[in-house]
Amino acid sequence: MPMVTITGRLTDHGVAVMPPQYQQRVWFKPNTGHIRSSYAMDGSEVPATLNADGTFSATVYSDPSDPDVWYTLCTDWLPPGQGLEAPENRARGYFEWPVRIYPDIGGPISDLVEIVNGIGMVYYASDAPRRGVRMQLHFNTSTDDLYAREITW
């Protein structure tokens, strides 16, 4: 079973790390359970190690050939003043990033997020014939499927 490590740095929009007294936690939530080879993997969250400088890492299951395997990054923390409350009375803040993270071969999280719909590149040979068979591509933003249609003139 291929396991890969995802790394990153967690900050606010001022690029500041949350102070340690807020007891921030980070984890990856799989999109669903998966059955691969002889493994039946449930949908349990995968905790990440969060360091004082905001860097984090987590080792997750990956199958680069299967686009059905993806994760969501989640975090929670104690809002100011909650650290003084009895543990059973504490309320935690929570945030879940609304992007899919495809683990692929691992690495920095910014390299593993879903490709933005509608942006793409087409490569062609400079010596390609100007007449003949051409391909028209259509990207379905609902299903993330790419369709090709042959055009002849």
- Residue 30 belongs to domain with CATH number: 2.60.40
**Residue 14 in domain:** yes
- Provide the domain limits for residue 33: 3-111
Strand ranges for the chain from DSSP E = 3-9, 25-30, 34-36, 39-41, 46-47, 49-50, 55-61, 71-77, 93-96, 107-108, 133-140, 145-152
CA 149 to chain centre: 31
CA–CA separation, 100 and 96 (whole Å)? 11
**Residue 28 in domain:** yes
pLDDT tens digit at each of 153 positions of the chain: 589 999 999 999 999 999 999 999 999 999 999 888 888 999 999 999 999 999 999 999 998 888 888 999 999 999 988 878 888 888 999 999 999 999 989 999 998 886 544 445 555 566 665 555 556 676 777 777 777 766 554
Query: How many domains does the chain divide into?
Result: 1
**Residue 73 in domain:** yes
**Residue 55 in domain:** yes
**Residue 145 in domain:** no
